[in-house]
Amino acid sequence: MLLHDVLAVLDRIAPLRHAEPWDNVGLLAGDPDSEIHRALLAIDLTPAVFDEAARHGCELVIAYHPPLFEAIKRVSSKSPVHRAIRDGIALYSPHTALDVAPGGTNDLLADILGLGARSPLKLAPARETAVKLVTFVPEPDIERVAEAVFEAGAGVIGQYSNCSFRTTGTGTFVGDDTTRPLVGEPGQRQSLSEVRLETVLPLARQDAVIEALRAAHPYEEVAFDLVRLAPRSEGVGIGRTGTFDAPVSREELIERVKRGLGVSHVLVAGPTTGPVRRVAVCAGAGRGLLSDALAAKADLFLTGELPHHDALRAAAAGMTVVCALHSNSERATLPRVRRRLEEEAPGLTVRISAEDRDPYVLC
């Protein structure tokens, strides 16, 4: 299959539009039209992980943490990124898009704790995500033009596709001596029965849809409007929080974390005994959501890592902090991603890296 088909599946699993604004997600290197048969899943693209991908003939590495994050000025020949580009191995990162996604890293942590109903710990701000296209098409050409913009990405509302509204009216125009109008002659006023076509499209597909509109439309000059839609919240966000139906002991929750993440030890700050009613989770680095966890009155906060003084702050507030180490809090989500890829991208062989591991070990 082609890489762009795999990219479409990955965006369904973890829509990139939900990633944090500071993040660097999506296809970081590679040709979307290249053939992809084997993919390797990992948290970090280390030299050992790249060697593993090359050894198994993988044309794609999906690394949760972006191998390219901040601007770089030079790339060593020993860098996995340099080697990937040289060898034609595509690199993709979902990172915070997967943190936000249903069933992603944070939902996994909530599942491990045994939490039922949950909500984002911090809602994503409302943002502009779509525009409305209004254009005018001669009646005989309306279906061809509509199909072209639909195929380019317009007309999707929730689980519905090919969505549009159409009204019929009369269009008028006069072309100068340089024009070649569809009907009539230059210099003469013409009237034509037209259909006003209205449809919505994602901001990310705006250029592609307009290009498709111009290519399919029979007029030399295509009249259209792009109407900005009000920003809206999609009800998604980072982290998770929720309340147990019945209290659960801190000792039991700590054991659930170790079993669920496959680790023998975790770092705990604050109370280690007593009942827990409300919990909060944040995969990876939890510092940015600690204030939200405290505001949610969570009794226990599960994360990957938390700085020293933040742990003291949480403990002083009576909150139990459980840190599993940064990537340990994220790695358990990889089997879920593999299952989704195998279900939705049949023919793609997906491996989970055996070389990928947290840099810290217990001695």
pLDDT tens by residue, 248-291: 999 999 999 999 999 999 999 999 999 999 999 999 999 999 99
Report, as an integer, the average pLDDT of 193-202.
96
| DSSP code at position 204 | G
Q: Considering the chain, what percentage of its residues have pLDDT values greater than 90? A: 85
Are residues 204 and 117 in contact, defined by beta-carbon separation less than 8 angstroms? no
Residue 42 pLDDT:
98
For 294-310, give one letter per residue: b (16+ CB within 10 A) or e: bebebbbbbbbbbeeeb
Q: Which residue has the higher pLDDT, 258 or 186?
A: 258
Residue 180 pLDDT:
87
β-pairing, 320-323 with 275-285? Answer: unpaired
Residue 27 pLDDT:
96
Side chain identity at residue 235, one-letter code: G
DSSP string, 265-329: --EEES--SSEEEEEEEEEEE-GGGHHHHHHTT-SEEEEEE--HHHHHHHHHTT-EEEE--TTHH
Q: Label residue 149 exposed, middle or buried (CB < 10 Å: 0-12, 13-18, 19+).
A: buried
Helices (H), ranges, 74-124: 80-87, 96-100, 105-113
* Closest to 356 measured CA to CA, from 324, 332, 322: 332
63 sits in which H/E element:
strand 60-63
Q: What is the pLDDT of residues 137-155, one digit of tens each?
A: 999 999 999 999 999 999 9
Q: Is the pTM of this model over 0.85?
A: no
End-to-end, the C-alpha distance of the chain in Å comes to: 45
For residue 75, what pLDDT band results from cuts at 50, 70 and 90? confident
Q: What is the pLDDT of residues 310-335, one digit of tens each?
A: 999 999 999 999 999 999 999 999 99
